[in-house]
């Protein structure tokens, strides 16, 4: 399986990271340990959202749409925020 995921910084709750991987547990661990330069300053993280896909192509297309399209990202972000409040 391939996953697109969203991490929320626990240091700055308004900061989200969007990525994709075929090993979600390892990738999350790498972010938490500071192995990723782009996310290191925002640690620690909470995994707040993910979707599963069968192919790398499908997950990459979804990741790009989430990162580049506000019409895709905004409803996901609203869902995340709502679920964190419940």
DSSP-based three-state secondary structure for 79? helix
Which token pair is 22?
């075929």
Structural domains of the chain ordered from first start:
2-85 (3.40.1440)
Select from 20, 22, 17 the least CA-distant residue to 6. Answer: 17
Kindly tell me if the per-residue pLDDT of 86 is higher than 80.
no
Residues 6 or more apart whose Cβ sits within 8 Å of residue 64: none
Kindly tell me if the per-residue pLDDT of 84 is higher than 90.
no
Q: What is the DSSP letter of 38?
A: T
DSSP-based three-state secondary structure for 33? coil
User: What pLDDT score does 85 carry?
Assistant: 86
**4-32 mean pLDDT:** 97
Q: What is the DSSP letter of 40?
A: G
Output phi, psi for 49, to 5 deg. Answer: -165, 140
What is the per-residue pLDDT across 38-81, written as a single tens digit (0 to 9) for each? 999 999 999 999 999 999 999 999 999 999 999 999 999 999 99
Cβ–Cβ < 8 Å for 60, 68: no
């Amino acid at each position: 399986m391939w996953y697109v995921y969203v991490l929320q910084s626990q240091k700055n709750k308004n900061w989200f990271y969007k990525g994709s991987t075929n090993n979600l547990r390892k990738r999350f661990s790498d972010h938490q340990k500071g192995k990723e330069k782009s996310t290191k300053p925002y640690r620690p993280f909470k995994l707040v959202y993910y979707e599963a896909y069968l192919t790398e192509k499908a997950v990459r297309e979804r990741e790009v749409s989430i990162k580049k399209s506000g019409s895709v990202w905004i409803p996901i972000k609203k869902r995340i925020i709502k679920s964190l409040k419940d």
